[in-house]
């Protein structure tokens, strides 16, 4: 079976999604691009707690199954559409995480309410892809449009979240940040009117953070 390490990472991240409460049951999915340009994606209808690396399905970017006994996720077209649109993307994570999906159901994109949003989107804004039925090419198109050339996250109206990264771990860590930012934006909006960062403040912090990634990890909540 090809790509044992990448299969293991996809399965591990799927378990982390359920373990962290970002995914319940089989509502989310994870994929990664292989060096040959095919996609490893979590299967449909399997509890991630018992998911094994060999259960992960290998599909072509057109969606045809190359290797695997199980059905690929019903949301595979959304994943393959993102890979076709973005050559820089190595992994995709999709969830229905509670706070981000709450915003998506309210029809609220996230404005630059916190500096960590610049790790997901240079302009500090998380857009909302319009609603259409899951698993369709139409949705894949809306999501690719919302992500544009360089965003790492977007919301899906009345549905959930998408994050992308170089690898499944990075896409997962961005899902964690997205859910945290969504919770903060939701709670501050309920309590009053959140103070937004200015375009200049967003630009400055985005430049500082993009310098971080090379030599040290992203700042955490423990930093000064
Ligand atoms: Zn979904």
Token pair for 101? 């999906």
Domain assignment present for residue 170? The answer is yes
- Asked whether residue 221 is domain-assigned, the answer is no
Report the separation in Å between the CA atom of 159 and the middle of ligand 1, taken as the mean of its atom positions: 6
Beta-strand relationship, 128-129 and 153-156: parallel
Residue 219's pLDDT is: 60
User: Could you give the CA distance from residue 69 to residue 76 in angstroms, rounded to a whole number?
Assistant: 16
For the chain, list the strands marked E by DSSP: 29-33, 39-41, 57-59, 65-67, 91-95, 128-129, 153-156, 160-165
Chain-centroid distance of CA 131 in Å reads: 17
Q: Which of 75, 122, 137, 221 is catalytic?
A: 75
Q: How many domains does the chain have?
A: 1
Reported as a pLDDT band with limits 50, 70 and 90, residue 220 is: low
> Position of tokens 């994870």?
30
Annotated catalytic residue 137 = no
Q: What is the pLDDT of residue 24?
A: 86
Residue 222 counted as domain residue: no
> 49-91 pLDDT, tens per residue?
899 999 999 999 998 999 999 999 999 999 999 999 999 999 9
β-strand partners of 212: none
Q: Confirm if 94 and 28 have CB atoms less than 8 A apart.
A: yes
Q: Which among 92, 73, 56 is positioned nearest to 170, based on CA atoms?
A: 92
Task: State the residue range of the domain holding 32.
Answer: 4-215
CB 63 within 8 A of CB 44: no
Give φ, ψ of 64 to 5 degrees.
-70, 140
Secondary structure tally for the chain: helices H, strands E:
6, 8
CA 19–ligand 1 middle distance (angstroms): 18
**Would 185 be classed as within a structural domain?**
yes
Least confident range of 41-55, 75-89, 176-190, 209-223: 209-223
For residue 27, give the CATH number of its domain: 3.40.225.10
Structure token pair of residue 138: 């139409």
Rounded Cα distance between 27 and 75, Å, is 10
Q: Is the pTM of this model over 0.85?
A: yes
Tokens 């989310």 map to which residue?
28
The answer to whether residue 131 scores a pLDDT higher than 90 is yes
Instruction: Indicate the pLDDT class of residue 221, thresholds 50, 70 and 90.
Output: low
Residues with CB under 5 A from ligand 1 (ion): 160
């Amino acid at each position: 079976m090809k790509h044992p390490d990448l299969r293991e990472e996809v399965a591990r991240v799927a378990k982390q999604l359920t373990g962290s409460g970002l995914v319940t049951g089989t509502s989310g999915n994870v994929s990664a691009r292989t060096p040959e340009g095919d996609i490893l994606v979590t299967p449909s209808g399997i509890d991630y707690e018992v998911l094994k690396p060999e259960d992960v399905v290998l599909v072509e970017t057109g969606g045809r199954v190359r290797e695997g006994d199980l059905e690929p996720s019903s949301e595979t077209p959304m994943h393959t559409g993102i890979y076709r649109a973005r050559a820089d993307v190595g992994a995709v994570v999709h969830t229905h995480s509670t706070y981000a999906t709450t915003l998506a159901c309210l029809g609220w994109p996230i404005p630059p309410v916190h500096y960590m949003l610049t790790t997901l989107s240079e302009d500090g804004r998380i857009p909302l892809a319009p609603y259409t039925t899951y698993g369709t090419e139409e949705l894949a198109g809306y999501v690719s449009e919302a992500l544009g050339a360089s965003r790492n996250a977007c919301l899906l109206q009345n549905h959930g979240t998408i994050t992308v990264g170089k690898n499944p771990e990075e896409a997962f860590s961005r899902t964690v940040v997205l859910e945290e930012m969504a919770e903060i934006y939701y709670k501050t909006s309920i309590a009053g009117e959140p103070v937004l960062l200015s375009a200049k403040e967003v630009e400055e912090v985005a430049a500082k953070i993009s310098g971080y990634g090379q030599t040290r990890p992203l700042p955490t909540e423990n930093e000064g």
